[in-house]
A and B are shown apart, each in its own frame.
Chain A
Amino acid sequence: MNELHFAWIEFAILLPLFGALLVSRLKNPGTRQTAALLVGALTLVAALGDFEDFYMLHIHQAASDRWRLMTRIFGRELFVVDELSAPLVPLVALLYLLTNLATLRTKLPRVSFGRLLLSESLTIALFSSVDPWMIIALMSAGALLPYLELRSRNQPTGVYVLHMGAFVALMVLGWSLLDGKPPGSQPLIGLIPLMLGIAIRCGVFPFHLWISDLFENSSFATSLLTCTPLAGAYALVRLVIPTASHDLLAVLRIVAVFTAIYSSGMAMVQRDVRRFIACLFTSHSSLVLAGLALATPHSTTGALCLWFSIILATGGFGLTLRSLEARYGRLQLTKYLGLYVQSPALAICFVITGLASVGFPGTLGFIATDLLVDGAISANPIIGALVAVVEALNGIAMLRAYFLLFTGTRHMSTVSLQVRPRERLAVLTLAALILGGGIYPQPGVVSRHDAADVILSEREKNVGPDPRESTPEAEVGAAERTRTSPQSASASAADRR
């Protein structure tokens, strides 16, 4: 295994962990926030160092730190970065930092910065883990934190406990049955519970209720940070994709596409902003799952790009809504609220992040959606068309919410409700990344393509090539294309996008 120049990963994990201990001992809410911001900033620096170090090494395989701190302590290398996780780690660190940054003073007494830092540590640790038991343990621990918050806020926990309990049980059961089996011959009886567990964590239909329940009952920050990084997709890539049979993935992609359509339809009729964003998020995350389950170079690259885009876009979208809620209380989508006049900057941020989340041109999500649709259509044209419909419906839902929240009337207020500099900085940072990534997407897409290549190579080694690629129908289709257009078909075979 390659070695990084410095123990960046460990620092990125341990800093927020110890920071959580430190912050929870502080009394003053303002000091807690300042300390959390400092720890978050340092964590981001470490995560960026990790990212830079990884790419400086010119590798696209796993790399660990050269001091092997964890090996000395635990006897094995626990945390490594690879092509998949290298950009995800700083992105997660950034999201946590911006969430802390955008927290208004009025909310400080209710926000547990210690818990947020602990959650950050667990998420970064998860994204730099490749060991299955470690992944399962970290995801289980991560699932515990929202539960504690729900309890502390006296909110109902039934839906959450039911889903997360099932998730943990299925993951443990699944991997217990698979542990020790060679990658190519893992039994279906182990893969099925594993995939069911991941489906629950990702909110795939009919296991999606916990996401809207969490958004509705926990704080905006917690629900956003629990869902947005797509921990379930990470587990899918690490545990299922490398070994699952083609048939199993076929089932997953059908269910995922159905969930995407279902959730986009549900987003159009929501009356509560929190449930609306939950539906929008579920729709997008399902598209990521569908792209991963298609397991073609295009679709996997598209799914990984979309994953990246979701973290930024849904993160920014959520932070904008959180800022609105901090000013106007719980927002309903039942009548026009006319908030534009009071908060024009938030309206602009809402549109930018919302458009990015639906793959609008000029934003990061555009090329991701194009790649995904392209990959989907080469596997199955109907799935490709359905993905296009999903994006259309999500776009409708997004602008409906915009009109209801920001227009239609004039919100009167005796005090200024303009966006604060910290909030502006947080949302503009995400907007800049969204637009910057949309205008110059090549480096990001190449990085995700390399990650897709690693994932699919491993899969092909274990499971073999997809029989769809050599079916008689596919050959007939190729021959048909050749007959249709001799000029373009030569390019078609090569350039097939």
Chain B
Amino acid sequence: MTAFTILGLIVVAAPALLVAILGLSSLFSRPLSERRTSVVVKSAMFTGLIASISILALMLIKNERRVPIELGHWVVLHDHDEATEPVDPRREAPHNTHTPPAHPAHPLYHFSFKFEFDRLSVPFVILTFVLCGTIGAFADKYMHREAGFNRFFVLYAIFVMGMVVTSVAGTIETMFTGWELVGLSSTLLVAFFQERPNPCRNGLRVWVVYRLSDAGLLSAAILLHHVVGEGDFDRLMGAGAWPEGVAALTSGQALTVGLLLLFAVAGKSALVPFSGWLPRAMEGPTPSSAIFYGALSVHLGAFLLLRVSPILALSPVLAAVVVLLGLATAVFATFAVGVQTDIKSALSFASLTQVGFIVAEIGFFTWIGPRTGMPWLLYFPLIHILGHGCLRTLQFLRAPTLLHDYRVLENAFGGSLTIVPPSADDRAARPGMVRLYRLAMNRGNLDAILVRYLVDPVLAVFRSIDRFERRWISRLNGKPSEFE
């Protein structure tokens, strides 16, 4: 076992162990005390961070650009017909159920856990540990004596694990696993203050968008398997290390797979038209808002696009769609951010503006990079993600003390910093601006449009069918159900 393998395993095992400790203690109704929880969280984050930095250092020293770590097959099925093991004549069956053939010609099905440390995943996983560690330390104080302290940290641990698995995933199935964990933990944290209905409604909204985008990712993964026969990123993206890989697809296949992936990205990163869930997600506690929507989770879609950038490079149409979607999101978020009345919503839209730019950069550079012999241009969006993530985390964590900070600034300047709002005369002179203001307040009506034209009709159909079924059952039974 090489040093890379050991360190790679530590990177993944640290958050997994955290989930196991916090999760099992909760499952058996024996939650850890706040102090112990804090120690366990800090230890896990510190260990994971040190291991990931060590991997980076080793990669730089050994000049390795890509370090795949294979944990072997999690599930593997062999075709019985292709088994090469000699058949025991004493047995009636072709082979022993418990001891499958040692060297079958080809696996019929396999699901591998494979992790890949390269110039994309290592910075992202380091960012994950740095920010999650910071948030963990912050939340330890922020959530002190909160009724859901333990629940918060269980969900936090699941989130960290999901982020780490997604970051270092070497196959699209492994990435899907992490992607789902991030989605679930985010949803439950949005609904963290669960004794009020609004957080729960908003949590459900987030979950709906996530699940549908997950279906997009799953479909893309399956289609990739169908077309290429593999879900491993290194097989899919060719021999070159990121960002120099070349995908083994045709332009048409790249477009189809890419659009499905883009759907998943749009849901996860709140791109247009799914941007409506982002301000709703601010119902959660500030540490989770910071970690999910300011710094890490909202960038996950952009990370996926960077990971599959060789696919984007194959289709000019796809690259153009990515650029347009990114720019549209940036414009929309800029439009909405100016009228937000609470700091967390304002920050979330500010964050979304940058995410839109990052997505547009990815679309542009994946197209330009390989054609100009400068694939390294993709480092720009990656650097943008890293810088933006750190900045937003700081802003979100300072959000609860905004008024205090404001007062400090005013004292330093020696005067009021309050912006004078426009007068009634100004507003009357520009009626179009009022309409725009209303539109911005309603966040472009994106949510309302989706609900009215997509969600409501579907639910209405099923509700009508449900009513019909109930009537039909009552008729067949000869009386209505007493539980109606």
Interface residues of A (CB under 8 A from B): 2, 55, 58-61, 83, 156-159, 162, 209, 212-213, 216-217, 265-266, 268-270, 272, 274, 297-298, 301, 330, 336, 338, 340-341, 344-345, 348, 352, 355, 360-362, 366-367, 370-371, 373-374, 377-378, 381, 384-385, 388-389, 391-393, 395-396, 399-400, 403, 406-410, 428, 431, 441-443, 445-447, 449-450, 453, 481, 484-485, 487-489, 491-497
Contacts and interface: CB of A to CB of B under 8 A. Distances in A.
A341 B97 contact: no
Contacts of A340: 194
Q: Majority SS of interface residues in chain A?
A: helix
Nearest to A297: B108
B262 to A, nearest CB: 16
Interface stretch (B115-123, B201-209, B329-337, B418-426): B201-209
Given A216-B481, A399-B187, A159 B476 contact: yes
Given A336-B200, A377-B226, A493-B229, A409 B478 contact: no
Given A403-B204, A441-B75, 18 more contacts: A158-B476, A209-B472, A209-B476, A216-B483, A265-B461, A270-B466, A298-B108, A330-B483, A352-B27, A374-B222, A403-B200, A407-B199, A481-B227, A484-B253, A488-B236, A489-B229, A491-B235, A497-B109
Contacts of A492: 228-230
A2 B92 contact: yes
B228 A488 contact: yes
Given A216-B481, A497-B109, A348 B27 contact: yes
Interface string B97-119: 11010000111111100000000
Interface in B167-221: 173, 176-177, 180-181, 184, 187, 191, 194-197, 199-201, 203-204, 207-208, 211-212, 214-215, 218-219
Contact of B225 (A269, A377, A409, A441): A377
B29 to A, nearest CB: 6
Contacts of A487: 235, 248
B463 interface: yes
Contacts of A344: 29
Given A83-B97, A265-B462, A495-B229, A389 B105 contact: no
Interface stretch (B76-84, B132-140, B340-348): B76-84
11 contacts: A61-B92, A266-B469, A341-B195, A388-B218, A393-B211, A409-B196, A442-B76, A492-B228, A495-B229, A495-B230, A497-B231
A373 B73 CA distance: 19
A421 to B, nearest CB: 11
Nearest to B222: A377
Contact of A449 (B27, B77, B235, B483): B77
A484 B204 CA distance: 42
Sort A-B residue pairs by CB-CB distance and give the 8 closest, nearest first.
Answer: A492-B229, A156-B477, A494-B106, A485-B248, A407-B194, A392-B215, A361-B177, A158-B477
A362 to B, nearest CB: 8
B214 A445 contact: no
B3 interface: no
B91 interface: yes
Given A449-B77, A491-B229, A156 B479 contact: yes
B462 A373 contact: no
B411 interface: no
A474 B335 CA distance: 50
Contact of A396 (B177, B211, B225, B473): B211
Given A388-B215, A392-B212, A298 B109 contact: yes
Contacts of A266: 462, 465-466, 469
Contact of B97 (A162, A298, A446): A446
Nearest to A494: B106
A164 to B, nearest CB: 13
Contacts of B76: 442
Contact of A159 (B215, B228, B230, B477): B477
B473 A212 contact: yes
A59 B473 contact: no
B110 A497 contact: yes
Nearest to B161: A362
B458 interface: yes
A400 B199 CA distance: 13
Contacts, number: 217
B31 to A, nearest CB: 10
Given A156-B478, A445-B77, A410 B462 contact: no
A408 B477 contact: no
A157 B79 CA distance: 48
B390 interface: no
Contacts of A384: 219, 222, 226
A449 B227 CA distance: 24
B74 A442 contact: yes
A269 B479 contact: no
A406 B194 contact: yes
Given A156-B478, A370-B111, A59 B93 contact: yes
B445 interface: no
B53 interface: no
Interface in B440-465: 458-459, 461-463, 465
Interface of B: 26-29, 73-77, 79-80, 91-93, 96-98, 100, 105-111, 173, 176-177, 180-181, 184, 187, 191, 194-197, 199-201, 203-204, 207-208, 211-212, 214-215, 218-219, 222-223, 225-231, 235-236, 248-250, 253, 458-459, 461-463, 465-466, 469, 472-473, 476-479, 481, 483
B229 A373 contact: no
A268 B476 contact: no
Given A336-B200, A388-B215, A361 B463 contact: no
Contact of A355 (B111, B184, B201, B225): B184
Given A391-B215, A497-B229, A268 B77 contact: no
Contacts of A2: 92
Contact of A336 (B107, B197, B473): B197
Nearest to B82: A494
A426 to B, nearest CB: 14
Contact of B207 (A348, A391, A396): A396
A488 B235 CA distance: 7
A58 B248 contact: no
Nearest to A361: B177
A209 B469 contact: yes
A330 B484 CA distance: 11
Contacts of A301: 77, 109
Contacts of A83: 97
Contacts of A59: 91-93, 97
A418 to B, nearest CB: 9
A53 B412 CA distance: 82
A297 B81 CA distance: 12
A162 B194 contact: no
Contacts of B459: 268-269
Contacts of A362: 177, 181
Contacts of A361: 176-177, 180-181
Given A265-B462, A348-B27, A485-B248, A491 B223 contact: no
A58 B215 contact: no
Nearest to B260: A385
A233 to B, nearest CB: 21
A336 B27 CA distance: 24
Given A213-B473, A340-B194, A484-B253, A360 B180 contact: yes
Given A217-B481, A266-B465, A396 B476 contact: no
